[in-house]
Amino acid sequence: MRAVSGVLTVVLSVVIPAGLLVVVTTALGAPAYMLAVLLGIVMFAYGIVAAWMGSYDLGSPMGWLMLLVDLTWSLPNTVFGALTGLWLYAIFGTPSSANSAGRGWITYSPRSTTGFGNDVLQTLGTVNLGGSGQHERMHLLQARIFGPLYLPLFGSFYVVTFLIQCLFTLILGFALKAAGIRTSAHLNPPSRSAVSGFFGWIYFATPFEVWAYASGNP
């Protein structure tokens, strides 16, 4: 059954996204055939790795649901992961069938024992580095829930928390530190945050991260 799931994963990963793009752009009056071909190439690479890892168990309804959501509603997130995570995480780790099989994503195990992939895990779309803690699985679920809104929302949240951090630091933080009330001028994240310091609070305070940390271990 895994071989059949693998073949179907590859075929559907190419046909559904490329077909959707042609249908949508044709309805808008400008069919994007060349862009559909490029999308098909990207998703072929994704499908090959997902099939190799057995990411989608198409012998179960949940496997079908995850694949169809990733190829339709959450397609922008899947493409983002394919364009970034597939090659970036290959630099730091190796694909892990044990952590990917039947779980609806592609996971890379880090080659090192410290640093990126160990102390800091990361998930881009449906591609992960470092393992399947509840925190990272929550990001995967968030992407599937919010679909095409997920990445714009994530980016917007970072802009907002960056501005809050800068305004606090410049308007109030330096004065409080000078008065001895604070040890740092900027806001700091809690100790459980994977990122510390000035940028750590910007990262930790985004709603998606607050939600993910509240769901379990990072």
Do 129 and 81 contact (CB within 8 A), yes or no?
no
117-127 pLDDT, tens digit per residue, is 887 889 999 99
Lowest mean pLDDT among 8-17, 110-119, 137-146: 110-119
Going by pLDDT thresholds of 50, 70 and 90, the confidence category of residue 217 is low
For the chain, what are the domain ranges? 2-132, 150-215
- N-term to C-term CA, the chain: 33
Query: Of all residues in the chain, what percent carry a pLDDT higher than 70?
Result: 99
Q: Which of 80, 76, 17, 8 is nearest to 48 (CA)?
A: 8
The SS3 assignment for 170 reads helix
Q: Is the pTM of this model over 0.85?
A: yes
Q: Which residues make Cβ contacts (< 8 Å) with residue 58, sequence separation at least 6?
A: 1, 4, 5, 8, 9, 64, 67
- Write down the pLDDT at residue 113: 79
Alpha-carbon distance 74 to 48, whole Å? 19
Of the ranges 69-73, 129-133, 152-156, 182-186, which one carries the lowest mean pLDDT score?
A: 129-133
Asked whether the predicted pLDDT for residue 204 surpasses 60, the reply is yes
Residues written for the chain: 218
